[in-house]
């Protein structure tokens, strides 16, 4: 699991936007949710099923953009 420490900022709503990202591996395995805010990269690692390190397709149907 990936943990991102919350950053408290009231400067802009942009910085508090959190993306909940789902990825789909070419083997069909779904990876996620991964959490990303605008300041950090997501670290995906490898698919636990086929050990592939990508590329992964973003599942836009499941990926959620929301503001906190």
As a whole number of angstroms, the distance between CA 45 and CA 14 comes to 26
Select from 4-12, 14-22, 39-47, 55-63 the region that touches Zn ion (CB under 5 A). Answer: 39-47
As a whole number of angstroms, the distance between CA 10 and CA 24 comes to 34
Name the residue with tokens 């942009």: 14
Instruction: State in angstroms the smallest separation of the CB of 35 from Zn ion.
Output: 20
Q: Which residues within the stretch 5-34 sit at the binding site for Zn ion (CB under 5 A)?
A: 25, 27, 29
49 binds Zn ion (CB under 5 A): yes
Report the alpha-carbon angle 26-2-24, nearest 5: 15
Instruction: State in angstroms the smallest separation of the CB of 60 from Zn ion.
Output: 19
CB-wise, 2 or 49, nearer to Zn ion?
49
């Amino acid at each position: 699991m990936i943990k991102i420490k919350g950053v408290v900022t009231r400067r802009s709503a942009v910085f508090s936007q959190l993306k909940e990202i789902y990825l789909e591996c070419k083997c069909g395995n779904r990876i996620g949710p991964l959490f990303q805010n605008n300041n950090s990269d997501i670290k995906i690692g490898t698919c636990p099923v086929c050990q592939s390190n990508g590329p992964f397709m973003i599942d836009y149907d499941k990926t959620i953009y929301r503001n906190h």
